[in-house]
Amino acid sequence: MADTITADVVIVGSGVAGALLAAKLAASGVKVAILEAGATVDRANAVDAYWQAVIKVPECPYPPVPEAMHPVSDNLDFWYRQNGPDKFASTYIKVVGGTTWHWLGTCLRFVPNDFRLKTIHGQGVDWPISYDELEPFYGAAETEIGVAGHSGDTLGSPRSLPYPMPVIAPTYLDAAFGTALKGTRYEVRATPQGRNSVERDGRMACCGNASCIPVCPVQAKYDATVHLDRAVAAGAALFERTTAVALDVAADRSIAAVRFKRWDGSEGTATGKVFVVAAHAIEGPRLLLASRSETLPNGVANSSDQVGRNLMDHPTQLSWALAPAPVYPYRGPLSTSGIENLRDGTFRRERGAFRIEIGNDGWSWPTGAPISTASELAKQGLRGKALNEALRDQASRHIRLASLVEQLPQGDNRVSLDPNERDMYGVPLPRISYRLDDYVKAAFAASIAAHDDIFARLGASEVKHSPNAQGAGHIIGTARMGEDPKSSVVDRDLRSHDHRNLFVLGSAVFPTSATANPTLTIAALSLRAVAAVKASLAG
């Protein structure tokens, strides 16, 4: 393989941000090179690995290898070097297509006030762009991804275009919640999702395999390989098993090249006119910080000392209970409805907002059910027909709620470079310092009260609440956008304040977390950045 890669635009990372940008640029004739640390996934092999796995965590179809290490949900100290006081519990994978392989598919927009948290509620910071500026790109992102939703239900986010596909039908379980909560403050609504409700773009409709996390066996759920394939078909070059290890900076402070190392031990450089870091909110800042030099001792794009800071998630309160009658979980997409009308209000001055996800996956997340249910019943002495009947009865009544909580940006919540340990390429491992503050803890208390109220209205029993915050899989912050170069990493167009030909894409640029699952906003911001990247090439 060549030791030198040359393109107009060099993109590090092949997840949804990098893939969307690459597809749009390549379609307009721009020469694009995409560097991806991981390898191509064979879907059939991934499905088999999931079914064979004893511990069914999101990463089990995509096990880390020495050449492309990543965190795993069942051992939060495996890749992260956790520096406390709390453990950061969200993960990602390194494969072609990125973490979209095991995302749930939820495609919620932010609500308008999410962009003005400081102005409206006196917390956090404001975004340098408004909802109205991003709204057309939300519509474009929904079209690109292929979002199924109810176009007449805005969920608090005004829209100018209908969803490209009809809504994924709510489940019988959703209907049970809807009936019990009718007329209350809890509005049960269908969740917009990045999965086909009808055949579209050569991909079949969802057939309800109930394994959206960690793998959709039929690709009804969108993943970034959709746009990678489009990019490559339009002339982009995808270099898998190619890990970016440093950015080189020229005398004029422009980015000159990306240094990379391959799985086979070879190495080289990628040169171009414009460089894009789209490597997620852990690996992105890790790369920028590891690119330090005598002239840039704090790393690339870091004159503000904000690279790696303001790490956020949607810390999740998980609760589960037993419905009084069968609601038949463990079927269809893992969640098809939620409660979205609690995402804004004056309470945000005192505590974080949250959205409530209604799960179709029973107790599988908190307990490993229904397998664990069978084990518990067997321990009680049940056997044969009695065991089978008890298992059917219990499993049919499993219900769970998950409240995804807003987290404020804090400078001490951060990704830095571990001083002692490095990966096989010589890059320091990610060191995570993380703490859940009182704003989050107050939201947890409010969410538990809401869960108790909802379960009571359903007549549920055996209510349990997880004592620990769960990770939502939403890694946010660490390279935030802003108008002031002294307090942010990139500008409103996602261009580095420090280096005119460097852009950062992905949830790393979010100034605040809000409550919406981040993928749709990542996609919208990436589509919005296309014009700025093209303008940089012309300049």
Angstrom distance (rounded) from CA 226 to CA 97: 8
Task: Please give the sequence-ordered ranges of beta strands (E in DSSP) within 208-351, or none if there are none.
Answer: 237-239, 242-249, 255-262, 267-271, 274-277, 316-322, 337-339
- 474 in catalytic set: yes
Place of tokens 């491992």: 429
How many angstroms separate the Cα of 345 from the Cα of each of 111, 129, 349, 351, 448?
Answer: 11, 21, 9, 10, 18
Q: Is the dihedral of CA 360, 110, 475, 259 positive or negative?
A: positive
Q: Concatenated DSSP letters for 367-411?
A: H-TTHHHHHHHHHTT--HHHHHHHHHHHHTTEEEEEEEEP----T
Cβ atoms within 10 Å, residue 266: 12
| Start-to-end C-alpha separation, the chain | 32
Contact 460, 324 (CB under 8 A): yes
Bond prior to 370 in cis (omega within 30° of 0): yes
Nearest to 434 by CA among 89, 40, 147: 89
**Which residues have C-beta within 8 Å of that of residue 240, sequence separation ≥ 6?**
14, 36, 38, 39, 40, 96
Of the residues 70, 474, 497, 499, which is catalytic? 474
Residue type, 50: Y
* Residues with a known catalytic role: 474
